[in-house]
Amino acid sequence: GRWEVEELKENTVPGDRGLVLKSVAKHHAISAMLTKAFIFDNKPLIVQYEVNFQEGIDCGGAYIKLLSSSDDLNLEYFFDKTPYTIMFGPDKCGEDYKLHFIFRHKNPKTGEYDEKHAKRPDVDLKKFYLDKKTHLYTLVLKPDDTFEMLIDQSVVSKGSLLEDMVPPVNPPQEIEDPSDKKPDDWDERPKIPDPNAVKPDDWDEDEPSKIEDPDAVKPEGWLDDEPQYVPDPNAKKPKDWDEEMDGEWEAPQIPNPKCETAPGCGHWVRPMKNNPNYKGKWKAPMIDNPNYQGIWSPRKIPNPHYFEDLHPFEMTTVSAVGLELWSMTSDIYFDNFIICSEKEVADRWAADGWGLKKLVASANEPGMFSQLVTAAEDHPWLWVLYILTLALPVGLGVLFCWPAKKTDEDIDFKKPDISKPITKGELKQEREELEDDEIELEEEKENEDTAEDERREMEETKRELIKDTKKMGREAPPSEGEDEGGEDIDDEEENEVANRSQEEGDKSNISGSEDEVS
């Protein structure tokens, strides 16, 4: 595999370059000696570096190895079998996203090394592999035998070297005796067939589970003489068909078109139904096994390989760091490796490197609108969500803020009285009040009739007085001075009589109104 030292493809920091894995489907190995070997004593170990999957990642790793100190360590021959103390970092293949933390533990009895794997983080790691951003990976091992794994300075997993590694650091005190064997008469059956049960006399095991339905009737229009499939009349023998090699050519079969409009074709067979007399093979009912002894397991014996390492933090000294990787994706970017014991040093190192890259990436990120459009290009259904999100507040604003139409009249709706139970006495009192109201209405009607009669009589009297006055005027001889004013005198008399009759009529109406009011 080939390595290069290059700038980032995106969000480049001027003058900043990193180590880039360039080849696809090849083994890569690169390493360097530490200026000072790290000894696991009373100081924590902090391992930190940056990774950017610039092209995403299909299958491959970006983990780091801390190589164990030894007299025969030669980095020119660094490969996958070179002994390491710790392996840490991201790894992915298919849809399996991992963050490795593995350390090699030395068995104090045999001197052999076993790999101990930390349990998988509970967080979703997918975005760190696909967003094409630079991420900071940190491993912290403490002398109290605890560990933390961080991504971008946020803890994604933590635990104990004694309790959260697989397999456990310390083996069990007891193991199953490999020489122990289950006795031949050991009965593990919790239930057994009842030995006293007898098959009933009427139990017929020969009855089939299905029988023909005797009540079934062949549908009308069934075409008995028509086959279900017929040769395709449009099929033609291929030109390269060799009857000597391929045999006699036959047209392929197609569904009989005549059967499409009919209930069926060919020989009609009665449908099958469940046999009501079917009981199947008789079996004795199950009962509790009186000889049940439980599930057998070998006896326990002291583990001859047992040991107890109370401080697995005291690992093999580290004197070199290396990347030994295989990947199906190129352009994996590495930068700013640091191994130290002080958190302040690691944080300052992160701020000067990863922190600066993060600021540049944030400044170059597209605006919110561009991000929404990009997301919708990958997921077109988001356009519907966007439209609904914009239309809903606009619609509500129009609904509640548009001026309402004013009406010319205000209609008051009177809330109906709530019905209450009526007692017998109240009902009687209401009936009497209704009768009194009817009497008053009748009296008012009679008064109205009386007033109307009186008015008519007054009008008749008025007309008679006018006639009499005119008659008297015609019979009397006119005197001097009356020729010109005679008509005026008659008119004055007529008006006077009319006024008197009107006054009498008004008085009668007033008296009638007073009667109505009373």
In sequence order, what are the beta bridge partners of 176? 300
Burial of 99 (0-12, 13-18, 19+ CB in 10 A): buried
Rounded Cα distance, 58 and 209, in Å: 55
Q: What is the pLDDT of residue 354?
A: 93
Residue from 44, 113, 57, 41 nearest 89 by CA: 57
Please give the DSSP secondary-structure letter assigned to residue 41: S
Q: What is the pLDDT of residue 397?
A: 78
Q: What is the pLDDT of residue 349?
A: 94
300: three-class secondary structure by DSSP: strand
The domain ranges of the chain are 3-173+310-364
Q: Give the phi and the psi of residue 301 in degrees, each rounded to 5.
A: -135, 160
Asked if 214 and 272 touch (Cβ cutoff 8 Å), the reply is no
Q: What is the pLDDT of residue 171?
A: 94
pTM, two decimals, is 0.57
Asked if 79 and 377 touch (Cβ cutoff 8 Å), the reply is no
Residue from 55, 22, 17, 52 nearest 151 by CA: 52
Q: What is the pLDDT of residue 511?
A: 45
In sequence order, what are the beta bridge partners of 192? 287
Enter the CATH code of domain 3-173+310-364: 2.60.120.200
How do the pLDDT tens digits run along the chain, 518 residues long? 899 999 999 888 888 999 999 999 899 999 999 999 999 999 999 999 999 999 988 888 999 999 999 998 999 999 999 999 999 999 998 889 999 999 999 999 999 999 999 999 888 899 898 888 999 999 999 999 999 999 999 999 999 999 999 999 999 999 999 999 999 999 999 999 999 999 998 899 888 999 999 999 999 999 999 999 999 999 998 988 888 888 899 999 999 999 998 999 999 999 999 999 898 999 999 999 999 999 999 999 999 999 999 999 999 999 999 999 998 989 999 999 999 999 999 999 999 999 999 988 888 776 666 667 766 776 777 778 878 887 878 877 777 777 655 555 544 544 444 445 556 566 667 677 766 666 766 666 666 666 677 677 777 776 777 666 666 655 544 444 444 444 444 444 445 544 554 554 454 444 444 444 33
Distance of CA 472 to the CA centre of its chain: 112
